[in-house]
Structure 1
């Protein structure tokens, strides 16, 4: 049986003969496309087309073929769901207060108004007692007049501590509208206190623990300084001054490490010890960043408050000088009352705004650290897609779905 000759008879299966191979469609080696010129290779089907159709010639294309394009993370609420920058924290705080003005500004205004009324009452009584000291003629009368003053000062310190406790509690409560605003969920005044109502006792415990600890540390530093000055004389200043500065640095360091405890207690439903420990862990390796943000915010708010309060004080003083240029004792007391009331009102308004903003910044720092360390942004995206727990606090314990007593259809 003779074999077919190459190039004459086709082999079985319809394959082309060896001598009739098809020509290759690739460009010749001498005709390769130059860099920057048109490509000789045909692009894949659909390449260069966007959602609105093919791109216009001459415009640069998007991402290279086979590489995913960058997609910005979603921003359903006041911040994008990713680790935040400093400007985004400030903008998110402003947006949170604007969207939840009744809950945040209203609650802060109540606490600041109580503090302003207390300061006004203390100022008025101190002025009256100072006037009464002018008529003192003996040591016994002086000691008798100093008794109410000392009692008033002690009462003022006690009320100041109480207002500080209320401020710490309110800082944790204000974390509720901030966390809900991340997913664009508005929070009313009643709803905020309803969601944070069960966490009031742990907040009071943390506030009391931090306040007592701070007072004990201050008392210890003052006691050591008094003992050193008593034993060593004026030369003890060389030891007391570095001791005071070092104690201040330690207190600031510990305070920033535990700054997030109120938000942790309210959002994650932690206890006192667990809240403090959780705040300490979240701020690890981020202390300097938190310190910088907090310092800039404090300086900014102080500058804004001075811009508002100084013209108001000057205006009140100018009106007083115009109405009564040579006041007697009764007129001075009346002007003092008016000045105190106006200053207290301005201070309450400015203080409520600054307190709400500072609390919002602290809560957003807490959310940012959780997104950096624990991937909270992924959990928030999942909640955004599924719409889970619409009446709760995002970032808190997961709420199990409601089960129906009826069997499924």
Structure 2
């Protein structure tokens, strides 16, 4: 192609052949690109309440990886705790009977039971390490709107499952050790002065609750870090400790408020359900009692009592699993937020989204015959 000097400004390079050609007045065709997908979670640091809202979003987006695994884990834990409690009661039935005959001993036993129940409610927080690992994997996929099933998350955690269980055991052992150290002076003093021993032991439990809140906040992100970054047990604990170093109070506020609100919501859900179940049980029991105490009525009453207990247990397990599923989702949100603020993880997510969109555009361009006919794909 030859061009005169005065027409140089009216030429352009033909990148297919490397030669000059007359500049066309029309704009070059733009390659079609799919619309950017915002994702279920925003690819930026979260505000205080956005992290809590992310827990609800994960429940809706990946119910199997949040509520499903929580239901499985809490069912197994409840069965194990029930069998252990039954074995203790049956093995010490005589001692418990003698204690209940003494009013003062009965009061002491009631205090011990209440203390154990409070301690157990805090010790079970160690399961959040396991549940938040599943939630973190689901949350990492939620940035690109990829729905993740429980089986997919289970496969993604291959090679890390044993470490997650070991992490839960380490956290549980640490909480029990701290509880033993703080309550031991009161137990020793209980032999010399029961009143002073109970007071010191109660103070030790109060201090343990405060220590648990601190240690839980500092170590809560370990399970998510282990799952997403493939770390060891103690490396994950160190990672969680570092991530919460400059955001402790914000993380503590998010986790504490999430735990409080979820427990209140669970109470609101449980109360009417349990009331209805108790009303139905009493109604059926009264109807059976009108039968004159026949053997069939007695058998039906026993079966009804067993069914009532199973129903109440199932409702309680489901409500507790829902609470911990939400809490584990919030933990995953806090973990991702801390990484975005400290390490710019949001830039990694944006770059990954760009690569995914480019790959999707290439796939559409290669499979759509109209793209070749219209030249939207450019020279090949």
TM over 0.5: yes
Q: Is the 8 A contact 1:78 1:182 kept in 2?
A: yes
Where in structure 2 are the equivalents of 1:243-254 lying within 5 Å? 243-254=204-215
1:114 aligns with 2:114: no
Partner of 2:337: 368
Distance of 1:270 and 1:263 partners within structure 2: 10
Q: Is the 8 A contact 1:97 1:356 kept in 2?
A: yes
Q: Is the 8 A contact 1:221 1:244 kept in 2?
A: yes
Cα deviation 1:250-299 (Å, max 9, x = unaligned): 23211210110000111011111211111001001222111211121112
Q: Is the 8 A contact 1:174 1:360 kept in 2?
A: yes
1:258 aligns with 2:219: yes
Partner of 2:153: 192
Task: Describe the shift of the 1:335–1:161 C-alpha distance in structure 2 as closer, same or farther (beyond 3 A).
Answer: farther
Shift of 1:125: 8.2
Where in structure 2 are the equivalents of 1:279-298 lying within 5 Å? 279-298=240-259
What is the RMSD computed on CA atoms of the aligned residues?
Answer: 3.6
1:80 aligns with 2:49: no
Secondary structure of 1:279's counterpart equals helix
Structure holding more helix per residue: 2
User: Residue 314 of structure 2: which of 345, 365, 374 is its match?
Assistant: 345
Shift of 1:115: 3.9
Secondary structure of 1:370's counterpart equals helix
- Equivalent pairs counted in the alignment come to 295
Partner of 2:14: none
User: Residue 67 of structure 2: which of 94, 105, 116 is its match?
Assistant: 105
Shift of 1:210: 1.2
Partner of 1:381: 350
Secondary structure of 2:245's counterpart equals coil
User: Residue 266 of structure 2: which of 297, 305, 316 is its match?
Assistant: 305
Distance of 2:187 and 2:122 partners within structure 1: 24
Where in structure 2 are the equivalents of 1:52-201 lying within 5 Å? 76-117=38-79, 168-201=129-162
Larger radius of gyration: 1
Distance of 1:163 and 1:265 partners within structure 2: 19
Secondary structure of 1:198's counterpart equals coil
1:206 aligns with 2:157: no
Task: Describe the shift of the 1:121–1:314 C-alpha distance in structure 2 as closer, same or farther (beyond 3 A).
Answer: farther
Distance of 1:234 and 1:96 partners within structure 2: 49
User: Residue 217 of structure 1: which of 165, 173, 178 is its match?
Assistant: 178
Distance of 1:109 and 1:319 partners within structure 2: 26
Cα deviation 1:352-386 (Å, max 9, x = unaligned): 32222111110010000011111111111111111
Q: Is the 8 A contact 2:182 2:208 kept in 1?
A: yes
Distance of 2:305 and 2:88 partners within structure 1: 11
Partner of 1:270: 231
Q: Is the 8 A contact 1:109 1:348 kept in 2?
A: yes
Partner of 2:324: 355
Q: Is the 8 A contact 2:70 2:325 kept in 1?
A: yes
Cα deviation 1:171-224 (Å, max 9, x = unaligned): 322321011112322212221111112111221221111111211222222222
Task: Describe the shift of the 1:310–1:256 C-alpha distance in structure 2 as closer, same or farther (beyond 3 A).
Answer: same
Shift of 1:232: 5.6
Task: Describe the shift of the 1:257–1:373 C-alpha distance in structure 2 as closer, same or farther (beyond 3 A).
Answer: same
Shift of 1:108: 2.1
Task: Describe the shift of the 1:241–1:166 C-alpha distance in structure 2 as closer, same or farther (beyond 3 A).
Answer: closer
Distance of 2:258 and 2:123 partners within structure 1: 25
Q: Return 256-265 or 289-298, whichever deviates more.
A: 289-298
Distance of 1:119 and 1:344 partners within structure 2: 12
Structure possessing the higher relative contact order (Cα contacts under 8 Å, 6 or more residues apart)? 2
Q: Is the 8 A contact 2:186 2:196 kept in 1?
A: no
Partner of 1:394: none
Partner of 1:15: none
Per the normalisation by structure 2, the TM-score is 0.67
Task: Describe the shift of the 1:178–1:368 C-alpha distance in structure 2 as closer, same or farther (beyond 3 A).
Answer: same
Structure 1 gaps, min length 5? 1-73, 140-152, 391-409
